[in-house]
Each structure stands twice: as C-alpha cells, then as structure tokens.
Amino acid sequence: MPALAESVAANTRTRLMDRRDDMTTPKGSGSVTNSQGDAPNYDRPTDVRRRLLAGGAAAAAVAVVGGRAVAAAPSALSQSELDLLKYAQRLELTARDLYDEAISSGLDDPLLEAMSEQHEAYAHGIAGLTGLSADSRNDELFGRLRTSFRGAGALQSAYDLESAAVATHLEVIGILSDVDAAELVASIISAESRHCVVLADVLGRGNELGATLDNDAAAILPRPMTPSTRSEEPTMTEKHQSDSPLSNPMDRRAMLRRSGAVLGLGAILSACAKDFGGDTSPGRVGLADPAAVLPDGTLDDLAVVRTMQSLEHAVVAALETMSGAGLYSAAQATYIERFVADHVAASETLGAAAVAAGGSPYACPNEWFMDRYVLPVYSAVESSDDVARDTRSATLAFETMLAHSYQHMVGLLSVPAHRKLLMTLGSAASRRSALLSILWTAPSHGYLGPALSDEASENDAAGFPIHYAVPASFGLVSQIPVVVGTPDDEGSRYQTSFQTPAENTFVYDYMSC
C-alpha cells in the first residue's frame, strides 16, 4: 500500500475505533497521522459505477424526483437553465476526475473511489433529465486543482471542493424554475453535504463542529450565470430579499435570545393544541372534533415553509425533553446544545420567510408529528432496557427526518428562492445526520450504506436499523425506520417509521398557535 494511502487508512481506522463507545467532546483541529495500520473498517464498494450507471442516465434522474417517471426533455427547460445545468454537470465530472487523480497518485482508498463514482452518477443524472451528454469537465477548474489532489493535501482539497460544490448547487437551485431539475439538484446537495462531514472526519476534524456542521465555502459560478444576471423577472419575495432577515441572518445567540427559553414539552403541546380543535389527549393523532368544520387549506409555498418551521420546533421539543430527562451524556449534551441552537435559528429564518411571503410564522411544534412520533418514541426510550442506545437512535432519526423532509419539500415549492432557502437548511440537516451516523454507527459499520457497498447491511445482528453517513449516492426522501424500547412478552420492541410531511402534517394558512 503506498505510504500516503496507508497513512489515511490508519488514521481513518483510528478515528472510527475511538468512537466505539460514545461521542467525544468537540475539540480542536486534528491532523492526518503517519501511523501504520490496516485498511479502515468501512466497506469497499464493489462495481459501484456499474450498478449506478447500468440503467442509463435517465434511470439515475428518475430515482431522485419523487419516483415520478421523467423523460429527458430539454425543451421543458429554458436555454439559460440548460446552460446552468451543463455547468453543474461539468463541475461533477471535474470532481470525479480530481478524485481519480488522487487515487492514481497513491491515495487508493475505497471511500474516495465511492465518491468519485457518486460524482459521475450526478453528472449522468443531469444527463438523464436534460439530454445533455455527460462528456466534458471544467478543464480550467481541473487544471487549477489537479496538483493539490496529487499531494499530501488531497483530502483537504477534497473537503474544500465538496463544500464549494454544495454552495454552487445552492445557487443553481435558487435559479432553476423547473421542478424536476430542482429536485435532482436538491438530492445532490444532500449527498455532497454528507461527503463534507465524512471527509472532515477522515481529516481528523470529526470533533470540530465548525468543520462538520458549517459551510463557509464560496460558490463556483461563472459570472454570466450568477443569480443577479438572470433574465427572468424576480418574484416579489426575491425583489425584497436583500432587505429581508433572510439575507442578514442573526448570530445563533441572538436567535436564542429572541426566541426565548424553549418551553417544556407539556406546555408546548398545551399552547398549540387549542387551535387545532378536537381531543387534545396524547392518544389522538390530529383528528378534529366531528362537529368542527375546518376550512380547506392551500398547499402553497407558505404552507410548506410553515410546516418546516413546525417540524424544527418539534425536533427542538424532542431534544429538549430528552435532555431535560438526563438521557444525554455530558459529551453528547455539547452536540445537542449546538443542534438545538441550529433548530431555533432555522425556525427564525423560516418565520421570516413566511412573513416575506405574506403570511405569519408558525413558531410551535407540529402537533401531528408530536402525537404520532415524538411522544410514543420518547415514552419507549425513557423506559427502554438500553436508554443510551435508544436515545442515540431517536436523536439520529429526528435529524435524518428533517434532512429528508427539506429535500422532499423542494418538489412542492414554486419559487426558486424558497427552494434555495429550504435546501440551505436541508444541507445543514444532512450534515447533522451524517455527523451522528459517524459518531454512533461508523465505528462498527463504516461510512457507506448498502447502496454503495455489497458488505453493508440494513440492520445489525440484533435487528436494529443501521444509519450510515453516506447511505446512497443521491440524497434520500424515504422513510426512516426506528426501533426502540424494551422487548415485550413476544420479544418485539416499539417500531415506527418517520415519514416526510403529507396532507395531515401540513400547517396551512388558517392554522395558528
């Protein structure tokens, strides 16, 4: 094994083994060591490229647009959108070739091979959707970065490139009007956000919350394709965006001060339940009183934004409740504090977007989600035969649910600026999900999920779902299985599946709290 590859392998293995028992307290920067060791304990993808591309480019696109059949139809896209997607496609092929440069120079690692293949899959996904041939990279960018990918700084260069790719695709999704193209780009954003966290961990920076959760990279957009030069007339929301709180986000501490202390779980439910009508006992699942006649709700951008705000509050309620019950260790509490602050900040941002769209914020938990998921899951966790295990599982499931939901909602939005906003928050949710997967799953099962590794399993030997940092090539919107609690007399534990929002979850404009 070449020295550089051996160094990376040893460092990765050490990082994974260090987390076998629990989270570690976030700490300062680490570095790639020169210690010797065996290959890292993640699974080598076997013929990944063949599996990803065997069905052709169109199949890749169909898989990530909500399961709807989408034919290659360039005529449905404007020429400026096709140019923009071609640029994004070339960026993905550039990333593929840069990873291949690192591999050929001695960093022959299965993780990098998988990432190379994923970037190729993204390029072919764009080809399948648009009819644009995936046949050319960005030679200028490739030439500028090639040397850095062939040296000792290859992993840092990969981290920087993935971060810039996410920032670039966020700009792209803020321009595209075609919903299918936006959904495809959203799925790429979700996946590449996870790449960033994995690479930070391999670099030895997995305990740095800034490296794993924040993205300060600049987008790599050519001047003619920047949002300020688009030919389409902006919407009213976009016209006022520069004067909106969305373009001037407050720091996290200010968000927390303005939001006030997070209410206890019982108080939150009591405050919000009165506006939905019907029985407010925990056993009810959002059913209204038979005599009440609720108005028809309109599923528009405002409803989507308010729904996501309510889900952010629901996750805050879940995390705060488990924290208040002392279910997190001292080390875990540091992460949870950061997560809660991020959720509160996201709620503020979504509330401002609701106001800018002509509506009002919905700053309380989603009642249906609380009744259907949070309360029963918490009850099972609190009385579990392994509270620590189930607290980790529930926390990871809540964060993954948000990541899937943000991506899913892109297909329901009509304003490109709203899609960019939601996927900015969705990218952050994907990072949190990936970080928890690395801390709690990677030591035993590696980074790569079954879609990328023939050796990976859906469940562990005890039947619990395994959540991977990189579960698939594209971002997922599928259900999240949850198994927690003490076995009953038949040996069965409490099981459910978190789902992305549906009709009974949406917060329409007539709802208030």
- 400 token code pair: 């993954």
Q: What is the pTM (predicted TM-score) of this model? A: 0.79
Residue range of the domain that includes 270:
236-285+300-498
Asked if 92 and 219 sit in the same domain, the reply is yes
For residues 222 and 464, what is the distance between their CA atoms, to the nearest angstrom?
A: 46
For residues 41 and 500, what is the distance between their CA atoms, to the nearest angstrom?
A: 32
Instruction: Calculate the CA dihedral of residues 369, 371, 373, 376 and round it to 10 degrees.
Output: 170
The answer to whether residue 246 sits within a structural domain is yes
CATH number of the domain to which 417 belongs: 1.20.1260
The answer to whether residue 157 sits within a structural domain is yes
The domain boundary, picked from 211, 229, 247, lies at 229
Would residue 247 be called left, alpha or beta, if left means φ above 0 and alpha means ψ between -120 and 50 degrees? alpha
- 494-498 and 480-484 strand pairing: antiparallel
Asked if 240 and 225 sit in the same domain, the reply is no
The answer to whether residue 119 sits within a structural domain is yes
- 312 token code pair: 């952010």
Q: What is the pLDDT along the chain (513 residues), one digit of tens a residue?
A: 444 445 444 444 444 444 434 444 454 333 322 222 333 333 333 343 433 343 444 454 555 554 444 444 445 899 999 999 999 999 999 999 999 999 999 998 899 999 999 999 999 999 999 999 999 999 999 999 999 999 999 999 999 999 999 999 999 999 999 999 999 999 999 999 999 999 999 999 999 999 999 999 999 987 655 443 443 433 323 333 333 333 333 333 333 333 333 334 434 333 433 343 334 444 444 555 555 555 778 999 999 999 999 999 999 999 999 999 999 999 999 999 999 999 999 999 999 999 999 999 999 999 999 999 999 999 999 999 999 999 999 999 999 999 999 999 999 999 999 999 999 999 999 999 999 999 998 889 999 999 999 889 999 999 999 999 999 999 999 999 999 999 999 999 999 999 999 988 999 999 999
The answer to whether residue 187 sits within a structural domain is yes
Asked if 223 and 242 sit in the same domain, the reply is no
Torsion angles phi and psi, residue 482, rounded to 5: -130, 125
For residues 147 and 107, what is the distance between their CA atoms, to the nearest angstrom?
A: 14
Neighbours of 356 (CB within 10 A): 22
The answer to whether residue 487 sits within a structural domain is yes
Asked if 326 and 408 sit in the same domain, the reply is yes
The domain boundary, picked from 182, 206, 229, lies at 229
The answer to whether residue 309 sits within a structural domain is yes
The answer to whether residue 411 sits within a structural domain is yes
Asked if 117 and 20 sit in the same domain, the reply is yes
Asked if 267 and 189 sit in the same domain, the reply is no
Asked if 103 and 168 sit in the same domain, the reply is yes
The domain boundary, picked from 188, 212, 229, lies at 229
Asked if 276 and 155 sit in the same domain, the reply is no
The answer to whether residue 336 sits within a structural domain is yes
Query: In total, how many domains does the chain have?
Result: 2
